[in-house]
Amino acid sequence: MSRTVIRNGTIVDPSQGLHGRMDMALRNGVVEDIAPEVRPESGDKVFDVQGLYIAPGFIDLHTHLREPGGESAETIESGCRAAAAGGFTTIYCMPNTRPVCDTETGVHYVVSRAARAGCVRVIPVAAVTKGQQGEEITNMGRLQRAGAGAFSDDGYPVMNAEIMRRALEYTSMIGVPVMEHCEDANLSGSGAVHEGAVSLKLGLRGIPRVSESTMVSRNVALAAATGGHIHICHVSARESVEAIREAKRNGVHVTAEVTPHHLTMTDKDVLGYNVNAKMKPPLCEEEDREALIAALEDGTIDCIATDHAPHSANAKDNVFDEAPFGIIGMESAFPLLFTEFVLPGRWPLEFLVEKLTVAPAAVVNRPWGTLQPGSPADMAILQLGQPYTFERRHLHSRSSNCPWLGRTMKGRVAMTLVGGLPVYESPDLYGKPQPVEKPGRKSTSTKTPKRKTGKSNKATTR
């Protein structure tokens, strides 16, 4: 089997503490070697990616692919393409489809559809309770053997504490997390946005912070009592952060994720009845946003997950009360967070990459998110610094419920590889990776037409 050599990239792999210009050799879909110089041999395919960055493929623990039952919004295939366009090579998909993914057949369906899409790796999350009804736990052992990577009733909270207790107790034997959407359905009621000055002003029904934080507190207490692993989905409120911090201090097996939108937006984004700022949990206030950023930085929150939630324009383009909750996020996650946090200097690039790679892998206790020799050659090749307008054409989802369309982004995914094979290539890449005809020859990428015409060439990046 032939070897592929990727030369002159800047490899950013927090799992090995790498950040520097290196060459990489791939064989049989696996990373064979990373070294300051890998000499191409006859028969090698050689790519020169000078000026580009290489990170392990991103891992998203929280997506909704809508299939089966919601194909007008997304399919497993379109969701996979959206993931690839965002640099994600492994995604977990939530079970709130129609029917709910609560049987081995349902798990097999997702796995086989994803295999047919032949794009990124898809790990189904199966339901905690049958039909997500919150009454009877699913056949968790069998579901895990069928391929389920976690359990969640996402979209609905498990309101009955006894059921959650049993689910955590039972899964402690299997060693996979229960991923919980923490929301007290009674406290949320028919609320549409965070309860605060904005909800008062707009006359929208509010969801109080305690709707999330009381359930976080309950769930970490149950995890402490059972020894189960609770993963808190999409943390939004500062009180929830405190509850997680306290539980971690006490040695509870709790992990948590935060979404790009909760890191970058607040309830003020709802003003004007912006339906693309309507999601659950709702966007809270600036203090909450700052608490979430600090929690990600100090490790209280483990990783970033998008909660990619496609809704067709027919459903989402609606009066605010009627519009469904949720926005898509896989294509925009890296460009947005790079632009908002790395460029201004708040985070080193390694930090962002870590929270998208080894950190989520650690949550599910898998040896992923790394380019160590022997690992699958799953990677995101990134172009940093060139400004461009994020538009509908950058979305590969069937839906476009994205609040960042029209935003200037300064980082993009140039190419995504899964098992050494390209699954995404940016169509308007400036300085795209060029195959080199003869081994050892210097890159000719400066002569490509794209470079000549790229007006971004002259643009300043900061």
Partner 1 sequence: MKTVPPATFRHRHLLGIEGLSKEDLLLILDNAIGFKDVVTRTIKKVPTLRGKTVVNLFFENSTRTRTSFELAARRLSADVINFDVATSSVNKGEALLDTVETIEALGADYVVMRHGSSGAPHFLGKAVQASVINAGDGAHEHPTQALLDAFTVREALGDIAGRRIAIVGDILHSRVARSNILLFRKLGASVVLVGPPTLVPDRFRELDVETVHTLREGLTDADVIYLLRIQLERQRRNLFPSLEEYRMLYGLNARQLRHAPDHAIIMHPGPVNRGVEISREVMELPQTLITTQVTNGVAVRMAVFYVLQGAKAHEQNGHS
- Rounded to whole angstroms, the Cα distance separating 462 from 457 reads 13
Query: Contact with partner 1 (CB under 8 A): which of 187, 202, 224, 421?
Result: 202
Listed ranges 170-178, 191-199, 209-217, 360-368: which one lies at the site for partner 1 (CB under 8 A): 191-199
Query: Contact with partner 1 (CB under 8 A): which of 19, 108, 130, 205?
Result: 205
Q: Determine which one of 307, 317, 321, 428 is catalytic.
A: 307
277 binds partner 1 (CB under 8 A): no
- Rounded to whole angstroms, the Cα distance separating 20 from 32 reads 18
Q: Where are the beta strands (DSSP E) in 228-297?
A: 230-232, 254-258
Query: Contact with partner 1 (CB under 8 A): which of 69, 118, 272, 374?
Result: 272
- Rounded to whole angstroms, the Cα distance separating 291 from 458 reads 38
Which of 200, 459 has the CB closer to partner 1?
Answer: 200
Tokens 């909750």 -> residue: 325
314 binds partner 1 (CB under 8 A): yes
1 binds partner 1 (CB under 8 A): no
Which of 245, 398 has the CB closer to partner 1?
Answer: 398
273 binds partner 1 (CB under 8 A): yes
Which of 275, 371 has the CB closer to partner 1?
Answer: 275
In angstroms, give the least distance from the CB of 30 to partner 1.
Answer: 49
Listed ranges 65-73, 80-88, 138-146, 319-327: which one lies at the site for partner 1 (CB under 8 A): 319-327
**Cβ atoms within 10 Å of 65's Cβ, excluding its own:** 31
Listed ranges 127-135, 195-203, 391-399, 446-454: which one lies at the site for partner 1 (CB under 8 A): 195-203
- CB burial of 152-188 (b: ≥16 within 10 Å; e: otherwise) equals bbbbbbbeeeebbbbbbbbbbebebbbbbbbbbeebb
Asked whether the bond before 281 is cis by omega within 30 degrees of 0, the reply is yes
Query: Contact with partner 1 (CB under 8 A): which of 14, 134, 196, 260?
Result: 196
115 binds partner 1 (CB under 8 A): no
72 binds partner 1 (CB under 8 A): no
Whether residue 258 contacts residue 295, with contact meaning beta carbons closer than 8 Å, is answered with yes
Listed ranges 253-261, 311-319, 434-442, 452-460: which one lies at the site for partner 1 (CB under 8 A): 311-319
Identify whether 307 is a catalytic site residue: yes
In angstroms, give the least distance from the CB of 194 to partner 1.
Answer: 11
Question: Residue 284 burial by CB count (10 A; 0-12/13-18/19+): exposed, middle or buried?
Answer: buried
323 binds partner 1 (CB under 8 A): yes
In angstroms, give the least distance from the CB of 272 to partner 1.
Answer: 7
321 binds partner 1 (CB under 8 A): yes
In angstroms, give the least distance from the CB of 314 to partner 1.
Answer: 6
In angstroms, give the least distance from the CB of 200 to partner 1.
Answer: 6
322 binds partner 1 (CB under 8 A): yes
- For 364, residues 6+ apart whose C-beta sits below 8 A from its C-beta are 61, 92, 149, 150, 176, 177
- Rounded to whole angstroms, the Cα distance separating 175 from 105 reads 22
Listed ranges 216-224, 227-235, 316-324, 340-348: which one lies at the site for partner 1 (CB under 8 A): 316-324
* Bridge partners for 56 per DSSP: 379
42 binds partner 1 (CB under 8 A): no
Whether residue 47 contacts residue 434, with contact meaning beta carbons closer than 8 Å, is answered with yes
Whether residue 254 contacts residue 230, with contact meaning beta carbons closer than 8 Å, is answered with yes
- Rounded to whole angstroms, the Cα distance separating 231 from 364 reads 9
DSSP-derived 3-state class of residue 109: helix
The 329-368 contact track toward partner 1, x by CB under 8 A, reads ----------------------------------------
Of 132, 102, 46, 91, give the one whose Cα is nearest residue 439. 46
DSSP-derived 3-state class of residue 164: helix
Active site residues: 307
Q: Which residues sit at the interface with partner 1, rule CB under 8 A?
A: 195-197, 200-205, 272-273, 314-315, 317-323
